[in-house]
Amino acid sequence: MMGRRDRQHSLFSAQTLPHRVPADSFYGRMAAVSDVLFADDDLQEMYCPDNGRPSLPPSPLSGVTLLQFHDDVSDREAVDRTMFDQRWKVALGLALDFEGFDPSTLSYFRKRLVEHGKERYAFDRFIAVGRAAGFIPDKVTLLTDTTPVRGAGAVHDTYTLIRKAIRQLLKQLGLAGPQKRRGLSPQAQALVAGYVDRHRKADIDWSDRQQRAAQLKQLVQDAEAALDLAADEHSDDAEVLATAWLLAKILGDDIVQDEQGDPQLSQGTASDRVISITDPEMRHGRKSHAQRFNGFKVVVSSELTSDMILDVADIPAADGDGQHLMSTVRRTETETSVTVAQVVGDGAYGSGQNLSDCAQHADGPIDLVTPCYRPTDPEVHKSAFDIDLQSKTATCPEGITVSGRERHDAQGRPFLLFRFPRANCEVCPLFQRCVRSETRGRSVRTSPHEVYLQAQRERQGSTEFQALYRLRSHVERVIAELVFHGLRNTRYVGQAKRHLQRLWTAAVVNLKRLFRLAEGQAVDLSLLLTQQRPHGAGPPLRMCALGG
pLDDT at 545: 43
Helix or strand run (H / E) with residue 443: strand 443-445
pLDDT at position 540 = 40
Residues 544 and 7: their CA atoms lie apart, in Å, by 8
Do β-strands 386-388 and 393-395 pair in parallel, antiparallel, or remain unpaired?
A: antiparallel
Instruction: Report yes or no: 294 and 317 within 8 Å, Cβ to Cβ.
Output: yes
Query: Can you tell me the distance from the alpha carbon of 367 to that of 356, in angstroms, rounded to the nearest whole number?
Result: 11
Q: What is the DSSP letter of 327?
A: H
Inter-residue contact 301 to 312 (CB < 8 Å): yes
pLDDT in the model for residue 11:
65
Kindly report the number of other CB atoms within 10 A of residue 379's CB atom: 11
Which among 506, 516, 541 has a CA at the least distance from the CA of 147? 506
Q: What is the 8-class DSSP label of residue 196?
A: I
Q: In the prediction, which pLDDT does 7 show?
A: 64
Where exactly are the structural domains of the chain?
Answer: 26-135+495-531, 158-265, 284-371+467-484, 382-454
3-state secondary structure of 296: strand
Is there a contact between 343 and 329 (Cβ–Cβ < 8 Å)?
yes
Q: What is the predicted pLDDT for the residue at 9?
A: 64
**What b/e sequence results for 110-127 when a residue is b if at least 16 CB atoms lie within 10 Å of its CB, and e otherwise?**
bebbbeeebbbbbbbbbb
Phi, psi at 299, each rounded to 5°:
-90, 125
pLDDT means over runs of 10, the chain (548 residues): 71 79 95 92 88 86 97 97 95 91 96 96 96 96 96 94 94 85 85 84 90 94 93 84 94 91 88 92 86 94 97 94 95 95 94 94 94 89 93 94 93 94 94 93 94 93 94 96 96 96 98 96 92 55 41
Yes or no: say if 320 and 348 are a contact pair by the CB < 8 Å rule: yes
Amino acid identity, position 30: M
Question: What pLDDT was estimated at residue 514?
Answer: 97
What integer pLDDT is reported at residue 531 of this predicted model? 86
